[in-house]
Amino acid sequence: MVLSDSENRCWLTNGHEFLVINPEKKINKKLVFNELSGQMGWQVSMVEIRKGVFIIGCDKGLFEYDEKINKLTSLDEINKEKTIANSPMYYDKMTNQLFLSANWWSEFYALKQENSVWKIRKKIKLPFSVYAIRPSRNKLKLWLCTNKGLALFDLQKLDYQLLTEENGLPDN
């Protein structure tokens, strides 16, 4: 499963097409994006930024899909950086920022939409790989699960505090 959206639908992909399953209405829909077909790669990530509008990350880059008008748009400003959007991605609705681990987890990006164009707010070279992103109880922070421990990421400062065995974790 790639995503469970705001309508409780399940989005699945095989790298060539998407299958959107609505279990409540017993409706299945198949979406094929010719621009991506067969070029998505083995790891596709997806977030819903507002109802019916999604960011899709794959080997070919980042794309915005507006379901209402059935339009897929390449995020060219981001894609010129040769960003391969690997899982994970996280959209923070409070700050309207998209955070993603990219280029096989070696880079971390904070993106923001300005005048309908997605821009890199900050490209962060981390000394660890980010494998999962989860919200914190503190709404201005995110938990980053890494290969070196847990990191508490500040959404405003775009900085982090790494927590390791030295801070009481059972292991890193």
DSSP helix/strand/coil, 126: coil
Global pTM? 0.88
Alpha-carbon span 20 to 98, nearest angstrom:
23
CB atoms under 10 Å from CB of 44, counted, come to 23
Closest by CA position to 46, among listed 69, 24, 77, 67? 67
H helix runs in the chain, sequence order: 76-79
Convert the pLDDT of each residue in 23-57 to its tens digit: 888 879 999 988 887 777 667 889 999 999 999 98
Structure-block tokens of residue 53:
């509008």
Print the SS3 string covering 3-39.
EECCCCCEEEECCCCEEEEECCCCEEEEECCCCCCCC
Q: What is the pLDDT of residue 56?
A: 92
Q: What is the separation of C-alpha 11 from the centre of its chain, rounded to a whole number of angstroms?
A: 14
Mean pLDDT per block of 10 residues along the chain (172 residues) reads 89 88 87 81 86 91 94 90 76 93 78 92 88 91 91 93 83 69
Cβ(142)–Cβ(155) under 8 Å? Answer: yes
